[in-house]
Amino acid sequence: MSYSDSDSSSHGGDYKNFRQITRERLLYEMLRSAKTGSSKSTWKVLIMDKLTVKIMSYACKMADITQEGVSLVEDIFRRRQPLPSMDAIYFIQPTKENVIMFLSDMSGKSPLYKKAFVFFSSPVSKELVGHIKKDSSVLPRIGGLREMNLEFFAIDSQGFITDHERALEDLFGDEETSRKGDACLNVVASRIATVFASLREFPAVRYRAAKSLDASTMTTLRDLIPTKLAAGIWNCLAKHKQSIENFPQTETCELLILDRSIDQIAPVIHEWTYDAMCHDLLNMEGNKYVHVIPSKSGGQPEKKDVLLEEHDPIWLELRHAHIADASERLHDKMTNFLSKNKAAQLQGKRDGAELSTRDLQKMVQALPQYSEQIDKLSLHVEIARKLNDLIREQGLRELGQLEQDLVFGDAGMKDVIKYLSTQEEASREGKLRLLMILATIYPEKFEGEKGQNLMKLAKLSSDDMTAVNNMSLLGSAVDAKKNTPGGFTLKFDLHKKKRAVRKERQEEAAWQLSRFYPMIEELIEKLSKGELPKEDFPCMNDPSPSFHGSTSLSSAATSSQGQAAQSMRSRRTPTWAKPRGSDDGYSSDSVLRHASSDFRKMGQRIFVFIVGGATRSELKVCHKLSTKLKREVILGSTSLDDPPQFITKLKLLTANDLSIDDLQI
């Protein structure tokens, strides 16, 4: 497969989403390209290291790999059986250890494999290439040697991570060390650059400027994170421009580099979409959910591991829907199925009473034509029921309402104290997250004894209060000194009893508790319109005239769709389940209606990278804005964190004797 810039970059050719391109590069450009000459009909061995096996597993299924002629997948550091009649494909990082292992496999009189096709995940140094060339016995056995420039995990059709679970600890920790922080940022920069090398995109690089660059204030490593990362990416891109064939020489997309200090509330506030609720409340391991299936014969229920991923059409439809919307839709799907089945109708009429979703589920399972499709539907009915039970048991509606009122300035300190004093059933984690939001908006309320008193009232441990206190290491959302129109802080009176850290948006929330939006939503919209201030978000490159032209086109398209968001202080009467029909991009019908529409007409891609972990609400925003702006918005981060993981990481910022390696993430 020839791989030119027209295959992938947003300035030409058939449009493919981010994950599709990643998958096709691995399957066709790498695996299929090893089918040469007489070896076309033979099976091959695929050898990977710990990182590349994850890269592969996020983008491809085992069936895809097998279809491309791979019969065996091996770990480069494991002892392997010699297969001298088979060719091997090496997909490895360009490290000295990996190259030594490869040479030991293929050198001497008895190599492990007949021929080796070597693909490096990122640029390889001249020293390592020289090391390979030195071994004269290996050279004739190398069928191909090239750089794939693919060193990221495609976690979503519009999302990737660089696999740096410790980034928050290394960069925002209490004992920040420049050496450790710089080493982390260098690897992150290299991996982000492989995203652009993979897609044949050359970005205009924007980044959050350091907040204090005057002579009187010393700039910390934390404050310079986006600046340093932007410089690192820029250096890598400069090399790609020279070394990669068909790499664009002018800007084809936009990249905005941020860090976790831009929005400290998004990682801890309760997000009410089906996807976020599943990962927040169900103790899932990654995307794996343990589904309990009742036995038809009355025996022990069967446990089955299922993956909640994009190949499941129901998950794809409902994941960004509000949990109340998702529950209604699942009930409707069950009802529709049963209404088409005469036996089920008779059963329903005989009972006379209105059927619950669970009754419907049991009836469907008893039907003779119980199929894989209904199995999926039944799975999601069970999950939605569990979530609604947990929401009720933990009093999350009341907590969620208070969280949102705090953020929008409709509640203050007194309301929090009242909640902590009266809500006995509230969970420890719920109260902790509430105080973390409070500490972001009212940091002065946690100084000295005030913080201790709040801790006692909430009945939290000193370990929990470490997480609350460590919010300050991410910087304060309250910044009275700085007030720029496109900035990341809102100006308000520090003596005012109630403060808002979000402005109401014009678009009407279709569901209660969906008022909250992550800060990146506002920033991406401003970037797309060309309204992001250069003093707050400088650009590494001065974009060429052609780039300005394309940006203004996309801006015009955006502005014709709706006016810029304005502050509205009108208070709505929220209901748990307003009628559907909203076209706000959040509801699942809206998402599905637009998801498959004219992808080819999409404008230039927008990439947003958040150092220190991204959230599911931020990933959802990227899907929503892709439809709204008609530009594919891709979110990158060092990791994707659900609230429990983020809280644990935050505690580690000041814990010298703990390491994130002990965490199950």
Domain boundaries, the chain: 18-150, 152-263+518-540+592-664, 274-348+358-394, 397-474
Q: How far is CA 172 from CA 22, 104, 613, 653, in A?
A: 31, 41, 12, 7
Identity at 258, one-letter amino acid code: L
Dump pLDDT digits (tens) for 495-519. Answer: 556 788 888 887 656 677 889 999 9
- Mean predicted lDDT score pLDDT of the chain: 82
CB burial string 259-298: b at 16+ within 10 A, e below: bbbbbbbbbbbbbbbbbbbbbbbeebeebebebeeeeeee
Report whether 325 contacts 587 (CB < 8 A): yes
For residue 422 the two structure tokens come to 């009266």
How many C-beta neighbours within 10 Å does residue 382 have? 19
Multiple choice CATH, 18-150, 3.40.50.2060, 3.10.300.10, 3.40.50.1980, 3.40.50.300 = 3.40.50.2060
SS3 288: strand
Residue-level pLDDT at 542:
64
Dump pLDDT digits (tens) for 390-427. Answer: 999 999 999 999 999 999 999 999 999 999 999 878 89
Closest CA to 207 of 195, 189, 191: 189
3-state SS string over 48-60? ECHHHHHHHHHHC
Distance CA 665, CA 662 (A): 9
CATH homologous superfamily of 152-263+518-540+592-664 equals Sec1/Munc18 (SM) protein, domain 2 (3.40.50.1910)
Distance CA 521, CA 615 (A): 13
Residue-level pLDDT at 600:
59
Report whether 284 contacts 233 (CB < 8 A): no
Q: Residue 489: is its pLDDT beyond 60?
A: no
- Kindly state the greatest CA–CA separation across the chain: 83
Dump pLDDT digits (tens) for 568-581. Answer: 223 333 344 444 34
Which fold does the domain 274-348+358-394 belong to in CATH? Syntaxin Binding Protein 1; Chain A, domain 2 (3.90.830)
For residue 272 the two structure tokens come to 């009410």
Dump pLDDT digits (tens) for 257-301. Answer: 999 999 999 999 999 999 999 999 998 998 999 988 877 677 788
Query: Which of the residue ranges 80-94, 173-187, 334-348 would you say has the lowest mean pLDDT?
Result: 334-348
Same fold, 18-150 and 274-348+358-394: no
β-strands 153-156, 603-611: how paired? unpaired
- State the pTM of this model: 0.84
In terms of average pLDDT, the best of 31-45, 93-107, 301-315, 644-658 is: 93-107
How many C-beta neighbours within 10 Å does residue 559 have? 14
Q: Residue 562: is its pLDDT beyond 50?
A: no
Dump pLDDT digits (tens) for 425-482. Answer: 889 999 999 999 999 999 999 988 888 999 999 999 999 999 999 998 887 554 433 4
Report whether 25 contacts 3 (CB < 8 A): yes
Average pLDDT in the 52-77 region?
A: 95
Residue-level pLDDT at 209:
92
Residues 6+ apart with CB under 8 A from 166: 184, 660
For residue 288 the two structure tokens come to 């794996």
**Tokens 């664009």 -> residue:** 248
How many C-beta neighbours within 10 Å does residue 221 have? 18
Strand ranges for 394-507 from DSSP E: none
Residues 6+ apart with CB under 8 A from 249: 202, 241
Residue-level pLDDT at 336:
84
Residue 89 has phi, psi (to 5 degrees) of -110, 120
Residues 6+ apart with CB under 8 A from 63: none
In terms of average pLDDT, the best of 88-92, 214-218, 355-359 is: 88-92
Dump pLDDT digits (tens) for 606-618. Answer: 999 999 999 999 9
Distance CA 384, CA 340 (A): 23
SS3 181: helix
Identity at 328, one-letter amino acid code: E
Share of the chain above pLDDT 90, in %: 61
